Every structure is written in C-alpha cells, then in structure tokens.
Amino acid sequence: MSVALQHCLWAESADPAPQPLVPGLTRQHLSEGAWVDLRRGWMDGADALFDDLAGSVDWHAERRPMYERVVDVPRLLAFYAEQVPLPHPALVQAKRVLDEHYQDELGEPFATAGLCLYRDGRDSVAWHGDRIGRGSSHDTMVAILVLGAPRPLLLRPRAGGPSLRFPLGHGDLIVMGGSCQRTWEHAIPKTAQPVGPRISVQFRPRGVR
Ligand SMILES: O=C(O)CCC(=O)C(=O)O
Ligand SMILES: [Fe+2]
C-alpha cells in the first residue's frame, strides 16, 4: 500500500464519527429483567475525540458529603442538560444514532449527557445504580460511550452475587437497560496499574440521573 493511501485512510478514520450500531451490537440478558448491549469500536476516531473533549470541555471537580465528611469526587465532571448543545459534533451524531436505534424500545429519546474524566487509576466511581429520579422505579436505559485508556466497568446484582467485568475503551459503547439501574449496580474500580486517562459519556433520558 502506498504511503499516500495509508495517510488518507488514517486521516479518514481519525475523524470522529459513530459507526452504525448494527452489525456488531450484542445483547446480554442479566437477571431480573436487566440487560446490557455492547458495541465494540463504535466511535471511529475515538482517540481524536478523546483529545478534543479533554481539551475543550469545561471539566470541574466536585466535593460531596460522605458520612461525616465532605470528600473530593474522584473524577472530573461535566453535565449537558437537555437543550444544552453537546460539546462535539460526534456526540450529536452519537445521540442521533442511539435515538434511531433505541427510541421504540425506550419510548423516548436520550436527553442529557454526563461526562466523566478519570485522570489515572486513582480516579473511579464507586458501586451505584443511576437511581436519582426514574431509574429507581422504572425500566430505563443509560448508554455510555467510552474513550481513552481501557478500564473495566463492573456490574453486580444488588441482591448479591458475582460481578461481571466489561473491559471498555477506545470508542466502545455499553448500554445498560431494563431494570439494570435498580436491580444491578455498576462501578469503575480504582487500580494500582499505570493507566492513561479515560473519558465516559453517559446519555440518559429525561429524569434519569
Ligand atoms: O464512567 C463510566 O463508565 C460510568 C459512569 C457512571 O456510572 C455514572 O456517571 O453514573
Ligand atoms: Fe452510573
């Protein structure tokens, strides 16, 4: 292959844009009406998108009360409420592809986008369900696009039992659906391994957080 062609292919694939979800989307049914959809390598140009978002998003640190103390949230955050323009055209396209595929099953479009930046292995999210709002009582979906260094997302049943491990990075998509937010919990554990930074983009319907 000529150098010119290689360059051309590289340039094309570095331009961030989501692929179609199908083929490549697989569903895994969990217990109690929870399920997880996976689409590996969904976002073309994921590394370029990572760089764009890392540099352009207005990331902020948060502190939250935890028992008797107020502690640093171990990751940086940004939140795009409904109607607030998303920070990158590839995310607008991503939401459109998700809406086209899931709107019938979900019964509504995705509405908000939460972004997390995990600077290194000390950043994490503890076990939780997205249960602020309707996720605590109704079936819903949370679609997460993962950029940057691979880290495992763990899922475990709230009722107890072994956890499932989904190593995700570099443009992968995971969608948690059905009862997942109230019957299962998810986490990104800390790691002592040297890992690069990771960004996740969580698309949620209105009233789910
Ligand atoms: O970063 C992730 O993959 C998960 C983030 C998450 O669970 C949340 O923000 O609720
Ligand atoms: Fe979550």
Q: What are the tens digits of pLDDT across the range 104-148?
A: 999 999 999 999 999 999 999 999 999 999 989 999 999 999 999
Q: Residue 66 has which token pair? A: 């935890």
pLDDT category at 170 given cuts 50, 70, 90 is very high
Domains of the chain, start order: 3-204 (2.60.120.590)
How far is Cα 10 from Cα 3, in angstroms, rounded to an integer? 10
Does residue 186 have its Cβ closer than 6 Å to ligand 1? yes
Closest Cα to atom 10 of ligand 1: 130
Q: Which pLDDT score, from 0 to 100, does residue 2 have?
A: 46
Closest Cα to atom 6 of ligand 1: 125
Give the Å distance between the CA of 167 and the centre of ligand 1. 14
Give the Å distance between the CA of 142 and the centre of ligand 1. 9
Least Cα distance to 19 among 124, 93, 126, 125 occurs for: 93
For residue 18, whether the previous peptide bond is cis, meaning omega lies within 30 degrees of 0, is no
How far is Cα 168 from Cα 146, in angstroms, rounded to an integer? 6
Q: Are 132 and 79 in contact (CB under 8 A)?
A: no
How far is Cα 152 from Cα 105, in angstroms, rounded to an integer? 27
Does residue 145 have its Cβ closer than 6 Å to ligand 1? no
How far, in Å, are 7, 10, 47, 110, 185 from residue 3 at the CA level?
A: 6, 10, 22, 42, 48
Does residue 168 have its Cβ closer than 6 Å to ligand 1? no
Give the Å distance between the CA of 128 and the centre of ligand 2. 6
Does residue 130 have its Cβ closer than 6 Å to ligand 1? yes
Check whether 37 has a pLDDT greater than 50.
Answer: yes
Of residues 185 and 14, more confidently modeled: 185
Q: Residue 191 has which token pair? A: 């790691």
pLDDT category at 1 given cuts 50, 70, 90 is very low
53-91 pLDDT, tens digit per residue, is: 999 999 999 999 988 999 999 999 999 999 999 999 999
Does residue 202 have its Cβ closer than 6 Å to ligand 1? yes
Does residue 116 have its Cβ closer than 6 Å to ligand 1? yes
Number of DSSP helices (H) and strands (E) in the chain, helices first = 4, 15
Q: Which of 154, 173, 186 to mutate to test the pocket of ligand 1 (most atoms within 8 A of CB)?
A: 186
Q: Which pLDDT score, from 0 to 100, does residue 9 have?
A: 53
Q: What is the mean pLDDT of the chain?
A: 94
